[in-house]
Amino acid sequence: MDIDIKKNKSYKDLMQLVDKVKVMGVRTNAETPEDAAHGLHFGAEGIGLFRTEHMFYGEGSEEPLFLLRKMIVSKTEQERREALDELYKYVKKDIKDTLLVMKGRPVTIRLLDPPLHEFVPHDKDKLKQLSKELGISMGMLNRRVLALHENNPMLGHRGVRLGISYPEITEMQVRAILKAAAELIKAGKKALPEIMIPVTCTVNELSHQKEIVYKVYKEVCEKMKMKSIPYLYGTMIETPRAAIRAEHMANIADFFSYGTNDLTQMSFGFSRDDIGGFLPKYLDLKILPFDPFQTIDRDGVGELVMDGVQRGRKIKPKLKVGICGEHGGDPDSVKFFHKLGLNYVSCSPFRVPIARLAAAQAQIENPRK
């Protein structure tokens, strides 16, 4: 590895001290075994967010992306299941490689989140090529792509809503996660996946998906001849409603992870992709003191987090709660999350040392057991 910060004596001494003092955990957001290794190198204690969709972007994504597109344009459940069966081995490998690097540390794997239209090409030439590869007419492909169009995709058919509409997508992902863990354990390694459902707003979504998870769990245990496979089942808390209904969510979930990017977006009603048009003026005029997507807005979004933690822990006093939005690497926000009693923050690999230092400073400023 070309990052040799750990060889620096002052860094090493400081980090030793930091780890002695801090009580809140620091995990990393990672979507590849390389990211996971970087996070570990910087002292991450687990993965707080593994975005499963990452495998459909960038280098090496051609084959899985093609199969995902095949699944997206399927007309029937049968066709969709066939495409998912083909996709399964890529998903399992992706997860298994990361679980392996993490050597039994917790890995929170979030089920597919983005709206499906993000994965289909929109220019004519690429659509033509796809129609050839899939063996379907341009007319049919155009109709399917058009049907996926949404006016507000970030508030549209995404997150758990995909798993409710197409339970077979959840099934395939959960099978891949549990099978990957089971294979590692059978080979004498350790694995601890935490299955996480995104963009939930009602407990009924969580129980619907939990039934699928449990059905697949039984099936994988039987197939692998294992009495049990370790895993946790939890939810993102990233819609204001989920935060307000946290005690109900806690009945079903083993853990919460606050998605403060979406929670900020939905609380302010600011599209996180469009703040460039108005936020600079807001900051100039001091209408807002800082960018709430960088530093947590303690007065509003922070209140929602605090309230949700209290509600959740009323039902389950030991409920594991973390955060995996961008704020997990922002020192001021880390100190706030420490105060709220969160178990961990999760941030990009290179921000892990800063988050560790902020967690230690927070403990000195506001000691917590």
- The residue ranges that bind ligand PEP (CB under 6 A) are 49, 51, 113, 238, 259-262, 324-325
- Interaction with Mg ion in 310-369: which residues (CB under 5 A)? none
Q: Which is nearer to Mg ion, 74 or 265 (CB)?
A: 265
Q: Which is nearer to Mg ion, 170 or 260 (CB)?
A: 260
> CB 313 → ligand PEP: shortest distance, Å?
21
Which member of 31, 262, 297, 330 binds Mg ion (CB under 5 A)? 262
> CB 261 → ligand PEP: shortest distance, Å?
3
Residue type, 113: D
Contact 265, 154 (CB under 8 A): yes
Residue 277: Cβ within 10 Å count: 8
Q: How far is Cα 73 from Cα 95, in angstroms, rounded to an integer?
A: 25
Q: In 3D, which of 213, 262, 226, 227 has the Cα closest to residue 241? A: 262
Q: Which of ligand PEP, Mg ion, none does residue 49 bind to, with CB < 5 to 8 Å depending on kind? A: ligand PEP
Q: Which of Mg ion, ligand PEP, none does residue 51 bind to, with CB < 5 to 8 Å depending on kind? A: ligand PEP
> CB 115 → ligand PEP: shortest distance, Å?
11
Q: Which is nearer to ligand PEP, 236 or 252 (CB)?
A: 236
| Terminal Cα distance for the chain, rounded | 36
259 is a contact residue toward Mg ion (CB under 5 A): yes
> CB 243 → ligand PEP: shortest distance, Å?
12
Q: Which of ligand PEP, Mg ion, none does residue 325 bind to, with CB < 5 to 8 Å depending on kind? A: ligand PEP
> CB 51 → ligand PEP: shortest distance, Å?
6
Q: Which of ligand PEP, Mg ion, none does residue 144 bind to, with CB < 5 to 8 Å depending on kind? A: none
Contact 239, 261 (CB under 8 A): no
Q: Which of Mg ion, ligand PEP, none does residue 96 bind to, with CB < 5 to 8 Å depending on kind? A: none
Beta bridge partners of 323: 258, 345
Q: Which is nearer to Mg ion, 235 or 363 (CB)?
A: 235
Q: Which of Mg ion, ligand PEP, none does residue 94 bind to, with CB < 5 to 8 Å depending on kind? A: none
| Nearest residue to the partner Mg ion, using Cβ | 262
Q: Which is nearer to Mg ion, 94 or 238 (CB)?
A: 238
Contact 98, 54 (CB under 8 A): no
Q: Which is nearer to Mg ion, 153 or 230 (CB)?
A: 153
Q: Which is nearer to Mg ion, 101 or 237 (CB)?
A: 237
Q: Which of ligand PEP, Mg ion, none does residue 260 bind to, with CB < 5 to 8 Å depending on kind? A: ligand PEP
Q: Rule CB under 5 A: which residues touch Mg ion?
A: 238, 259, 262
